[in-house]
Amino acid sequence: MKPVHALLLILSLVIWGCVVKNDKNYDSKIYYDKATYYYSLEKLDSAFLMFTLYVGNAGDSLKKGTAYRCMGDMLWEVGDLHAAEENATATIRALDPLNTAHHAELSYAYNLLGNVHVDMQQYDEAITMFKKAREFTDDSGFLADLVNGEAVALQKKGKYKAAVALYDSMLLRKPADQSLFARMIDNRAKTKWLQDHRYPALPEFWQALKIRTDSQYNRGLNASYAHLADYYTGPNRDSALWYAKKMFQQAQLIQSPDDRLEAIDKLIRLDNSSSLQYWYTEFKQLSDSTRLSRDTTRNRYALIRYDSQKSKADNLELKGHVTRQRFWIIGLIAVAMLVITGLSLWYNKRRKRIKQESENAIRNAQLKTSQKVHDVVAAGLYNIMNELEHGDAVAKEPLLDKIEGLYEKSRNISYEEVLVADTGDYDKALFRLLKSFANDQTKVFLVGGHSFLNDLSLHQKQEIRLILNEIMINMKKHSHAKNVVIQFRQEDGNGLINYKDDGLGFSDDHTHGNGLKNTVSRIKSLKGDIIFGKTDRGGVTISISFPLSPTNK
């Protein structure tokens, strides 16, 4: 986005936001704070009301997602599964999966959906939700809860082997939380026993019971008593009855109506004494009471949602009235937009002028370079030709010195600006250049795959050509090599060029001249590396590596 356009947008938002934003954000923050306070005190009706008011005015997407998820948890607890699913889905819509700050809440939401689908007996959907939840958490304790939920869904679907594999994967991690460790052991043993009633699950059931007793994890004791009652139902009904009564007593202690109903159901099936009628009556009364309580709570939640929606409709009507009083602000924004549009036109015109000046400067620099080539190279060649044509005797060494000086000057000009035509056959052109250094005294061998050379950026092609040209010139001038080998290959996203000759090599006190120094700087401009070395026989080795992705355009 252009700076002027961004300024325009910001100005519009600021002017409008200053009018309509403050009271809304203030009210929504109060709703959220009250909701979390009531939720922590388990005053769920009040918490549900405040969360409902908050999501209708929420500005913070993370808090909005949390509010929907908490309402979903409350609805799930009272058995309103479809409403719980709706709120969990709203949580996911409110959050951003690319924002790591939202990941924990996303994991909770998918876990809630998994539990809802288990209760709906939609086990495939539940397994998908638990797996999705695992993608968004790095909490080892919560991860174990998710694995347990997925394993329970697999168990209920009859996929015992897959469920046991999940439990084994978590038990290998040896969780430090003893209640979690006991639950894994207990559920794994129950799954193995369901898979094969001959499986000796009793030692694992007792181990889990002992851990829960020692750690005073009272809620988990009910699961142990339930599993032991089921295990003993066939071989020893007296023991099964004893554990069913223990479960009932524990359920009364922790005031869990669901556990009490499950325990009474087991007692009805196991107790053949005169207490049977008592258990029937107890089950009927508790079942009716629990259902009535949950129906009442569901109705209250539904009424809260209805009142909130009605209130939202009333607020919309009120806001319509307020909006009509604020139309003058739109006029102010329109004036501001006209002013900023004018500034934008001026800015664009100025930018074009600066761009034109830059292009003129580049054109002038190119003209100066052409003039240097004419003045230095052409004039120098003319003087040498004139001396050869008209001189009576030409000394060889002074003439070579003049030619060498002219060569150095031409190289300095070429280093200032080199243009390489991108014909698509860059590798062939480069190989012709390298082969041109071969003669009767020196052989040049080019090996390896080189197709990647054509995919380089124009800047990379220019630099690689100059680097290899400088290396070959140094070989010709100083090395007196008989054999030169240059290998090209591509590896792990890098281009690799290895040079080796059998010449004189570098002396111990050798220092790089301008040519090799320029070579090093060119490699650095490609974000690459160059290493100079010696062969076993004293020749030169040069290793060049650079990333293939274009670094400069």
> pLDDT of 87-103, one tens digit each?
999 999 999 999 999 99
Residues 436-455, mean pLDDT to the nearest whole number:
85
Listed by start position, the domains of the chain span 1-134+292-325, 217-281, 329-408, 422-547
Could you give the angle at the alpha carbon of 260 between the alpha carbons of 266 and 44, nearest 5°? Answer: 150
* ∠ Cα 318 312 36 (to 5°): 125
The whole-number pLDDT of residue 276 equals: 64
Look at residue 419 in the predicted model and tell me its pLDDT.
47
φ and ψ at residue 159, rounded to 5 degrees = -90, 70
Summary count for the chain: helices (H), strands (E): 21, 5
Query: b/e map of 386-400 (b: 16 or more CB within 10 Å)?
Result: eeeeeeeeeeeeeee
Task: Examine the pLDDT at 5 and tell me if it is beyond 80.
Answer: no
* Average pLDDT of the residues in 251-278: 78
Beta-strand relationship, 529-534 and 483-491 = unpaired
- Residue 552 is predicted with a pLDDT of 44
Sequence-distant (6+) residues with CB within 8 A of 296 are none
- Whether 548 shows a pLDDT value over 60: the answer reads yes
pLDDT at 551: 46
Q: Which residues contact 47 (CB under 8 A, 6 or more apart)?
A: 35, 36, 38, 39, 70, 74
Q: Can you tell me which residue has the tokens 């590396």?
A: 529
Query: 3-class SS at 540?
Result: strand
> In the predicted model, what is the mean pLDDT of residues 307-334?
62
- Choose between 550 and 205: higher pLDDT: 205
Averaged confidence pLDDT in the chain: 79
Selected residue with higher pLDDT from 317 and 333: 333
Please, which pLDDT band fits residue 433 given cuts at 50, 70 and 90? confident
Name the more confident of 406 and 138.
138
- Please check whether residue 250 is in contact with residue 259, taking contact to mean a CB–CB distance below 8 angstroms: yes
Q: How crowded is residue 147: how many other Cβ atoms within 10 Å of its Cβ? A: 20
The residue with tokens 């998908």 is: 128
Check whether 52 has a pLDDT greater than 60.
yes
d(CA 26, CA 57): 10
Give the DSSP per-residue string, 90-152.
Answer: HHHHHS-TT-GGGHHHHHHHHHHHHHHHHHTT-HHHHHHHHHHHHTT---HHHHHHHHHHHHH
On whether the CB atoms of residues 61 and 94 are closer than 8 A, the answer is yes
Give the pTM.
0.51
Residue 20: what pLDDT? 47
Distance CA(299)–CA(181), nearest Å, equals 38
Check residue 479 and report its DSSP letter: I
- CA–CA dist 78, 500 (Å, integer): 79
What's the confidence (pLDDT) of residue 180?
A: 84
For 422-547, CATH number out of 3.40.50.970, 3.30.565.10, 3.40.50.20, 3.40.50.2000 equals 3.30.565.10
pLDDT at residue 302 greater than cutoff 90: no
For position 378, what pLDDT does the model report? 53
Level-2 CATH architecture, domain 1-134+292-325: Alpha Horseshoe (1.25)
- Of the pLDDT bands very low, low, confident and very high (cuts 50, 70, 90), residue 62 is very high
Specify the range with the lowest mean pLDDT, choosing from 45-49, 89-93, 255-259, 372-376.
372-376
